[in-house]
Structure 1
């Protein structure tokens, strides 16, 4: 359901005649051009494999490769293997580069992959499904499998809130700006960029956006283009190949059409990157924490697996199947990881973004208060400072006893609500300081929580989260072989599950107990 605040923002953008910044800071890492690879796909209608791929780092000429017919499996495999070499090198994946990402890299070591929109991200899942366990490919089999595995990880990580490695250009623009248009239309990258970059008044921008909207950005080509410009060429190429004729000229004609389509998608994505990189707004200070989390996810969910596949002495390698969660403990663990990321996301950013704080204030997830009393409970080393703060009872809030809150702009400090008391004109809330209680707050007077100088000072609070607890639960799932729910996460199948792969062969999918115990290899 659209909130009143969201409607008001759209109306303000319409009045201004242009998109308006959604927040005061950028909520995503923007890496240097040589660390941001742009990838765009095109495919034949009804096909899952790519017909052509464009890739390259920002500021460079992209490499554009295609095949005459996207239904010819071997040709597409060669295309995918060529792309895989550069992708694996760019992401610094173990076994495919001389400089693999270590377990604890610096924040500046982040490598990103930018794609036009969510449909191109979905192509990563198609690559995972096609190649992660492929039985064909000849000399390219190993690199195709590596491409499938890294594509699968990239696709899965995009559903984790706060991910930093894989960027949907249309999504980052949608998260950063409020457009004076319907949400369904602003999912189109060309439409967004026309609104953002066209000079002139609202009418000029609206006309340019409508024109841009007519050119598809998805991997699937415009049906009219495929029918009128490519269908006959593909048929001619197929006939010539069967008859043993020279089809190089026809292949070049197909390549030229696909090149134009790929280049346009690639350039639009590059334009989105440059718009974000040259933005007047700073990157939020909490993004560094998100990058640290992203590095850890890459190591534990992909890089470590690649290391173990190459050297089993490091431990058994658990490889997620691209089709579904056949492994109970893996599914439970990932659910909790994603839940933790969702809980923690706003907490990382809200302390450095006044607009995000105002949004939380309107939703009741933050509150402004006035300190009326400061006192201690306990004796000696067990002394704990408490505050009594007053709130305007007419404003929205979601306060409850035992809830945890943090002072605005002072992440790390934490307090627990121990009592809520309503009076005729005020709402009195007693909070007990539990996190960093001996450290000065990064607030108006830079004093410790126990300092009486806080009396009479206005202090804002935001809801805290239990992401660290959820994160610990995700780790415990793997070792919970007994106890409540073990039958669900650690139940051992009576026989391997058979599943047909994309190339017509049959895989045996073993349960995670057998795989982790080393009874089977993957």
Structure 2
């Protein structure tokens, strides 16, 4: 049903001829300028590490870092050392911050914005390259710390409701409805084209099509790489290996200038996204405050606390960094699944009470009721509620519902009659409550009679979180279905390459 609703929304946007606001509020947190670091990458086709990096605080000029040839790992590492110091400082790593007082021992919320999801992949590949490296080179500790941070940022980006790692294209899709396919909506320039100052559908469509011809991904446009950068890289590689840096300075500058144009465009697109969200007349969802608070605590435990342990050098308090390979067995996969289910329901819980559009989506899924209070009996101990939507709610006796806009006012379901659409409810609050909407009187107050209310399923996210830990501890063995498959040493393929 949610897919059908999204299709209807896109058709409506196409009929109107412009992007439409999604809901009455904005459901993505935009921090202050000094809390937002914009990070953009470009990479060579076939290579995993960055060719160039642009980073800078919102509202400030971006710093650009690039190398002549990203296949030279020494050059890439030297360039990324400077990038690492700035990113680590932004997130308050104790070894890269000027603060030495007690405030340096507490993590403060920070955001990192990237143009698209392909840039998240670069965070992951940087983590693979440096988080566990034993490379003997200057400032390898900086790269190792950067790799750990990149891995934690990548892990955090997968958690529903997080407000630390923001993909600019996703932020726009959360705030607006665009008349385009899902694949096209992954292109940040395409989305911004629909939000431009053009006045007609045709001119907006033309602007969006023109913008999507320019690459915003971490991968460069293949034609640009072949025609402009390819000859320059070949020229830089003509001298002997140990003479390329000294003899190829002019060529390196020419390569840097081409990459600079690409990096600056990506950086500016993210800045434009943030400005559009800030200039929106809609308010921010009040539930974002709770999501930021939860996210700050989660990322502090995931990364900052481990960084403090590693920085202290105390062998009795070693850091426990998340793995690079994700879920390596069934137990870990089950744990991660339940954690994300709980996080998603927690996200919905905090946002749905401040957004009518999200409330409608929950009703369409059967996760709530819309109707009228017909009777208040027993001095407010029992309510009779007649619902008119949805036709078949997916609710159960004993479950709880909360009044939309006032999550503190919850009710227990005693009985549901699908034929008469009568629901008997027991209010769980005793006195007057305040919330997102108007104040809620005590359940015995006669003003509740004949009120039309939206009741939303009060999903117990904390119980799912507890279940995830129970599942992780329940197994007495490290059973994995892959154990049923045995491989002989000679049967295991060996990857080719320079490391053989």
TM-score w.r.t. the length of structure 1 is 0.86
* Distance across 1 between alignment mates of 2:408 and 2:159: 23
Structural mapping, 1:321-470, within 5 Å: 321-326=323-328, 332-376=334-378, 385-392=381-388, 395-423=391-419, 426-434=420-428, 436-440=429-433, 442=435, 446-470=440-464
Secondary structure at 1:37 match in 2: strand
Deviation of 1:417 after TM superposition, in Å, equals 1.0
* Distance across 2 between alignment mates of 1:489 and 1:304: 31
Deviation of 1:503 after TM superposition, in Å, equals 11
Secondary structure at 1:113 match in 2: strand
Deviation of 1:8 after TM superposition, in Å, equals 2.1
5+ residue gaps, structure 2, are 484-493
Deviation of 1:241 after TM superposition, in Å, equals 4.5
**Structure 2 CA distance for partners of 1:328 and 1:103, relative to 1, 3 Å:** farther
Conserved in 2, the CA contact under 8 Å of 1:440 and 1:449? no
* Distance across 2 between alignment mates of 1:349 and 1:226: 43
Q: After superposition, what is the alpha-carbon deviation per residue over 1:220-255, rounded to whole angstroms, capped at 9, x for unaligned?
A: 111111111111111111112537362111111111
Q: After superposition, what is the alpha-carbon deviation per residue over 1:352-383, rounded to whole angstroms, capped at 9, x for unaligned?
A: 11222223233332322211222349xxxxxx
Q: What is the count of residue pairs matched by the alignment?
A: 485
2:192 aligned residue: 193
Confirm or deny that 1:284 pairs with 2:277: no
Confirm or deny that 1:233 pairs with 2:237: no
1:294 aligned residue: 295
**Structure 2 CA distance for partners of 1:408 and 1:489, relative to 1, 3 Å:** farther
* Distance across 2 between alignment mates of 1:389 and 1:486: 47
Q: After superposition, what is the alpha-carbon deviation per residue over 1:240-288, rounded to whole angstroms, capped at 9, x for unaligned?
A: 2537362111111111111111111111111111111221111100000
1:165 aligned residue: 164
Conserved in 2, the CA contact under 8 Å of 1:51 and 1:66? yes
1:274 aligned residue: 275
Conserved in 2, the CA contact under 8 Å of 1:241 and 1:247? no
Conserved in 2, the CA contact under 8 Å of 1:287 and 1:349? yes
1:472 aligned residue: 466
Deviation of 1:320 after TM superposition, in Å, equals 2.0
**Structure 2 CA distance for partners of 1:422 and 1:169, relative to 1, 3 Å:** closer
State which of 435, 452, 475 in structure 2 corresponds to 1:485: 475
Conserved in 2, the CA contact under 8 Å of 1:362 and 1:396? no
* Distance across 2 between alignment mates of 1:195 and 1:119: 22
Conserved in 1, the CA contact under 8 Å of 2:163 and 2:291? yes
Secondary structure at 1:50 match in 2: coil
Secondary structure at 1:487 match in 2: coil
Conserved in 1, the CA contact under 8 Å of 2:406 and 2:440? no
Conserved in 1, the CA contact under 8 Å of 2:430 and 2:442? yes
**Structure 2 CA distance for partners of 1:376 and 1:92, relative to 1, 3 Å:** farther
* Distance across 1 between alignment mates of 2:315 and 2:92: 21
**Structure 2 CA distance for partners of 1:461 and 1:154, relative to 1, 3 Å:** same
2:141 aligned residue: 142
Structural mapping, 1:124-139, within 5 Å: 124-136=123-135, 138-139=137-138
Secondary structure at 2:422 match in 1: strand
Conserved in 1, the CA contact under 8 Å of 2:233 and 2:255? yes
**Structure 2 CA distance for partners of 1:137 and 1:388, relative to 1, 3 Å:** farther
